A and B are shown apart, each in its own frame.
Chain A
């Protein structure tokens, strides 16, 4: 293949009518997910109506902290725009707001060998190269008991 895919931008999201509010709010520096105003269930990926009680959902700020459910360390280039970053770590993070409410994102500010399941993380928002979108990334937090 003659294309130098290492120099192409990373995958860009294609927002849809249900997700537009997620990308709009994170672009303004706030992580918001859809939540049911009736039964309080969070939904991610977003749904227009609550999957439990069918009430129309609304975007609400979510806490930025969570726990690593599992993670990978990408050692070989596999995804366009990311070949220069290998090795990089991606985790599925369970947010503190609701059991099973998961966000996927890179783990930063820590050596890959030190990442572990159960690790506490906090999210921050970064610009996604190649466009105007922003994405969350996760970094380790101090253990809660050590937090002043």
Chain B
């Protein structure tokens, strides 16, 4: 598999705010226009558009119309959370490589109508959650707090270890003007954070915001003539186990990454040691812990020491979430991780630029489902 026949040539985003006062379509259209402008392209150049959502109204049809297109060719609206970000981007690349589209825009938008941390309306719940929701157990922080507790039991990991991940993300966000949470925190601050759902404190949870992110992809050939250095998706992998049901995953000390990491490293011929920037999906601190281990950056149970030793930041082994991640930059459902990876590989990240960044891993998802992409500054030979 070689996805590098396509390239990311443009990136765009809106401001990230607690409350934007704007609709999803408005936010998405802004991010898409910014991304096209960044690429040196116009809306009329776009013939493909795709997003992932959980039923939001800002569909590719509506957003393409909103940026002025009278018709659009290739569109895919994937019903998914952050678990399928990598898949959506890989599909966009595949559409270009197979000639189904020339210029594809990938976007994700979250407005005030979309919040995942609480359910406040009376609901009837079907599917697998009909067996869990009636127990007051229905939102993702609860599912993954279960997993974190199991890891603590099996490997002796601690809340202080989760805190080391939160502290690292926040330290990076301090230098990121786009981040929603920029006040540095130390271990005392972390431990003083209020409990949300044990073993998660407030700093263990992603920071939900309104905003939109967009990426523009075209062929590697066309990319040579455009404004920025092209960034190539050089490999991708996906995996889902236990039917995608978090409570049924046999061993909650590992995640989908136990399946996906060997698949990705085998396809790319790379390993964790090759990666300069790791944008690890961080809906929760524990997601970073489990996936970081599974992708092979360290052994099980060693993440806390790894982060405390400075190995996950500038001057260390790999810079994890230089933008601050979903924990501190904002919860754009993981598409902002891809934005950051492209920015870093272009050398355009300013004060938070990772020196000589050539390869970036971006993971997507948590628990039983997810995927990952490796981006590079060069096409593989």
Using CB atoms and an 8 Å cutoff, list the residues of chain A in contact with chain B: 1, 3, 5, 8-16, 19, 22, 44-45, 69-82, 85, 88, 90, 92, 100, 102-106, 112, 117, 128, 130, 133, 135, 137
Give the residue name and chain of the B residue nearest to A69 (CB).
B150
- Find out whether the CB atom of B120 lies under 8 angstroms from the CB atom of A103: no
- Find out whether the CB atom of B131 lies under 8 angstroms from the CB atom of A103: yes
**Shortest distance in angstroms between A121's beta carbon and chain B's nearest beta carbon?**
14
- Find out whether the CB atom of A106 lies under 8 angstroms from the CB atom of B136: yes
Q: How far is the CA of A11 from the CA of B139 in the complex (A)?
A: 12
Q: Name the B residues within 8 Å of A90 (CB-CB).
A: 135-137, 142, 146
B145 located at the interface, meaning its Cβ lies under 8 Å from any Cβ of chain A in the complex: yes
Q: Which stretch in B72-80, B121-129, B342-350 binds the other chain?
A: B121-129
- Find out whether the CB atom of A9 lies under 8 angstroms from the CB atom of B125: no
Q: Name the B residues within 8 Å of A16 (CB-CB).
A: 126-127, 130
Partner of A104, one of B119, B120, B135, B141: B135
Query: B52-68: which residues lie under 8 A (CB-CB) from chain A?
Result: none
Partner of B139, one of A79, A85, A106: A79
Give the residue name and chain of the B residue nearest to A113 (CB).
B198
Partner of A70, one of B118, B132, B139, B252: B252
Among A16, A79, A117, A135, chain B packs the most CB atoms within 10 A around the CB of A79
Query: B115-173: which residues lie under 8 A (CB-CB) from chain A?
Result: 117-128, 130-139, 141-142, 145-147, 149-150, 153
B248 located at the interface, meaning its Cβ lies under 8 Å from any Cβ of chain A in the complex: yes
Q: How far is the CA of A75 from the CA of B161 in the complex (A)?
A: 21
Q: How far is the CA of A92 from the CA of B137 in the complex (A)?
A: 11
Q: Which stretch in B35-43, B189-197, B231-239, B332-340 binds the other chain?
A: B189-197
With A72-B198, A117-B153 as contacts: A3 and B135 at CB distance below 8 Å:
no
Q: Name the A residues within 8 Å of B153 (CB-CB).
A: 70, 117
Q: How far is the CA of A104 from the CA of B145 in the complex (A)?
A: 14
Partner of A74, one of B120, B136, B149: B136
Q: Name the A residues within 8 Å of B118 (CB-CB).
A: 77-79
Give the residue name and chain of the B residue nearest to A51 (CB).
B243
- Find out whether the CB atom of A10 lies under 8 angstroms from the CB atom of B141: no
Q: How far is the CA of A119 from the CA of B40 in the complex (A)?
A: 61
- Find out whether the CB atom of A1 lies under 8 angstroms from the CB atom of B124: no
- Find out whether the CB atom of A45 lies under 8 angstroms from the CB atom of B245: yes
Q: Name the A residues within 8 Å of B147 (CB-CB).
A: 70
- Find out whether the CB atom of A104 lies under 8 angstroms from the CB atom of B121: no
Total CB contacts across the A-B interface at under 8 A: 139
- Find out whether the CB atom of B198 lies under 8 angstroms from the CB atom of A75: yes
- Find out whether the CB atom of B122 lies under 8 angstroms from the CB atom of A8: yes
Q: Name the A residues within 8 Å of B138 (CB-CB).
A: 11, 78-79
**Shortest distance in angstroms between B252's beta carbon and chain A's nearest beta carbon?**
6
**Shortest distance in angstroms between A19's beta carbon and chain B's nearest beta carbon?**
6
B250 located at the interface, meaning its Cβ lies under 8 Å from any Cβ of chain A in the complex: yes
- Find out whether the CB atom of B149 lies under 8 angstroms from the CB atom of A13: no
With A13-B124, A75-B198 as contacts: A100 and B149 at CB distance below 8 Å:
no
- Find out whether the CB atom of B136 lies under 8 angstroms from the CB atom of A104: no
26 sampled A-B residue pairs with Cβ under 8 A: A10-B133, A11-B122, A11-B125, A11-B138, A13-B130, A14-B125, A69-B150, A70-B147, A70-B150, A70-B153, A72-B199, A73-B198, A74-B136, A75-B194, A75-B196, A75-B197, A78-B118, A78-B139, A78-B142, A80-B119, A85-B136, A88-B136, A90-B136, A102-B247, A102-B248, A103-B131
Given contacts A72-B197, A76-B195, A76-B196, 17 further A-B contacts (CB under 8 A): A1-B120, A3-B121, A11-B138, A13-B126, A14-B124, A15-B126, A44-B131, A69-B150, A70-B153, A75-B195, A76-B194, A78-B197, A79-B119, A81-B136, A90-B135, A102-B248, A117-B153
Q: Name the B residues within 8 Å of A12 (CB-CB).
A: 123-125, 134
With A79-B133, A106-B135 as contacts: A74 and B142 at CB distance below 8 Å:
yes
- Find out whether the CB atom of A92 lies under 8 angstroms from the CB atom of B146: yes
Q: Name the B residues within 8 Å of A15 (CB-CB).
A: 126, 130
Q: How far is the CA of A74 from the CA of B128 in the complex (A)?
A: 21
Q: Name the B residues within 8 Å of A74 (CB-CB).
A: 136-137, 142, 197
Give the residue name and chain of the A residue nearest to B243 (CB).
A45
- Find out whether the CB atom of B197 lies under 8 angstroms from the CB atom of A10: no
Q: How far is the CA of A130 from the CA of B134 in the complex (A)?
A: 10
Among A1, A8, A14, A112, chain B packs the most CB atoms within 10 A around the CB of A14
Q: How far is the CA of A9 from the CA of B125 in the complex (A)?
A: 13
**Shortest distance in angstroms between B320's beta carbon and chain A's nearest beta carbon?**
26
Contact flags (1/0) for B232-266 with A, using CB distance below 8 Å?
00000000000001011010100000000000000
Give the residue name and chain of the B residue nearest to A1 (CB).
B120
**Shortest distance in angstroms between A106's beta carbon and chain B's nearest beta carbon?**
5
